[in-house]
Amino acid sequence: MLKFRLAFVLLVVSIITALVMFTNHVSVGLFMGTIILLWIVIIFLGSMSMGWQFFLTAKTKHPKSKKAFFAITFDDGPNPEFTPQILDILEKHNAKATFFLIGKEADKYSGLVKRIIRCGHEIGNHSYSHSPYIGGFSAKKWLAEIEKTNSVLKQYAYNMVYFRPPFGITTPHLAKAIQHTNLKVIGWNKRSFDTFFKSESRILKRITKDLKQGDIILLHDKQPNCLPVLERLLQIAKQKQLQPVTISQLINEN
């Protein structure tokens, strides 16, 4: 949020500068157009890049990790076809992960939610609807999305700690909504783009290049390519003597 305020101050200073230029008969149109364009670009990149910490604070990695831990996270589940297979692969490798669940999907597939928890994995809030228009939601609507999913997951007597916004979008409205919860926002520093790329080797390269302790990897448990990628990722992690753990374990190093 601090960066957003600094950007706003910069905009105000630029407008004042433009007014001074205008009073001195200096062409102001091009100057103002450039400033407005830069402002729009900064706001857009700030909302789409969680690592910028532009509107709110989000944990995107844990570089101070003293143990050989890293975190694998899955968004958009639970999925009845792929989530069970992912759980099988994780169990085979004695690996733990964090699943950021969509509320409406968790509502439909309660058995999968129970299995995720029973297997010792962690669950997080990923909104209720995962609406493609969620970036334009008001603070009230953001909060409703978060609280509705919390309500769904409360039936499992699970203490919800983490939230990840759909698409990694952050806005001033989300920042305001988060202040009314006890949730911590979690991002990532290694994005697979497995919902865009079909090539397993390309996806794997993105998440294993310079893989190290403290990294947070983003995958989706609704993609068929996630299964072979996860299998190979866990093999590479073992070779590097890295242990996949939950977000809580990574941050708290328990």
Helices 83-92, 110-118: axis angle to 10 degrees equals 10
Q: How far apart are CA 35 and CA 143, in angstroms?
A: 33
Q: Where are the alpha helices (DSSP H) in the chain?
A: 2-23, 29-48, 83-92, 103-108, 110-118, 139-154, 172-178, 200-208, 226-239, 247-252
Phi-psi sector, 241: left (phi>0), alpha (psi -120 to 50), beta: left
Q: Which of 62, 75, 126, 221 is catalytic?
A: 75
Phi, psi dihedral angles at 166 (to 5 degrees): -55, 140
User: Any catalytic annotation for residue 220?
Assistant: yes
**Tokens 């991002």, residue located:** 187
Catalytic residue among 121, 126, 130, 220: 220
Told to judge if 107 belongs to the known catalytic residues of this protein, a careful annotator would answer: no
Amino acid at the residue 203: I
Catalytic residues: 75, 220
